[in-house]
Amino acid sequence: ELDIYLIDPGRYHGQGVHSSEQSDNLLINTVACQVTMFGDESVLNCGPMRKGPSLFEWAKKINNEQYKGREIKENDYLSRALLGKYLNWCHDELVNNLPKGIRVHHYFETVNDLQRLNDGRLKLFLANDCTLYVDCAILTTGHGQNFLDNEENKYTKFVEECCSVNPHLNYF
């Protein structure tokens, strides 16, 4: 038996720079045939092999060979939004076809803190005041957002207050 707790404030996939809801004019920086969520024979020591389509193969199949009115080719740079849709599909495909005894529980939240317990397990504190106890945790920060600290906020406020005196004043 294995319970996996997937904790993410977004809808667990295809978000941030790969959001399926962003503009189609933002492209990924890798050609479509080189993007995949599935391993092949070239991947060593990865456990059971799970076959599945690359982004290129998936996009051709679901878009009936065309994307935005033109043929999809192996070396095309497809949109980040389309990659987000592919990631959504991959997630659903994997979760819906898990081996017996493996379950995924989704929490659309943020983990605010974690604490190592005396028995070696971890106690996770979620933003919604929920607490989870787990044997291990894998932290993936993704593409984070930068937030200014107190000192940086002071500099920013100073620039805002003084830019009428010196329009070239700025803080980076």
Say if CB 24 and CB 86 are below 8 A apart: no
Q: What is the pLDDT of residues 70-111, one digit of tens each?
A: 788 999 999 998 999 999 899 999 999 999 999 999 999 989
Among 53, 49, 54, residue whose Cα is nearest residue 31: 54
- Of the pLDDT bands very low, low, confident and very high (cuts 50, 70, 90), residue 24 is confident
The predicted model scores a pTM of: 0.74
Give the Cα separation of 63 and 6 in Å (integer): 29
4 pLDDT higher than 80: yes
Give the Cα separation of 170 and 163 in Å (integer): 8
Q: What is the predicted pLDDT for the residue at 147? A: 82
- Of the pLDDT bands very low, low, confident and very high (cuts 50, 70, 90), residue 42 is confident
b/e map 121-152, b = 16+ CB within 10 Å: eeebebeeeeebeeeeeeeeeeeeeeeeeeee
> CA–CA distance from 80 to each of 22, 28, 69, 83, 107 (Å)?
8, 5, 17, 5, 24
Give the Cα separation of 95 and 4 in Å (integer): 10
Percent of the chain with pLDDT over 90: 55
Q: For all residues of the chain together, what is the average pLDDT? A: 88
- Of the pLDDT bands very low, low, confident and very high (cuts 50, 70, 90), residue 49 is confident
Say if CB 94 and CB 38 are below 8 A apart: no
- Of the pLDDT bands very low, low, confident and very high (cuts 50, 70, 90), residue 51 is confident
Stated as kind and residue range, the H or E segment containing 8 is none
124 pLDDT higher than 70: yes
DSSP 164: T
Q: What is the predicted pLDDT for the residue at 10? A: 76
Task: Measure the CA angle with vertex 141, ends 140 and 145; round to 5°.
Answer: 165
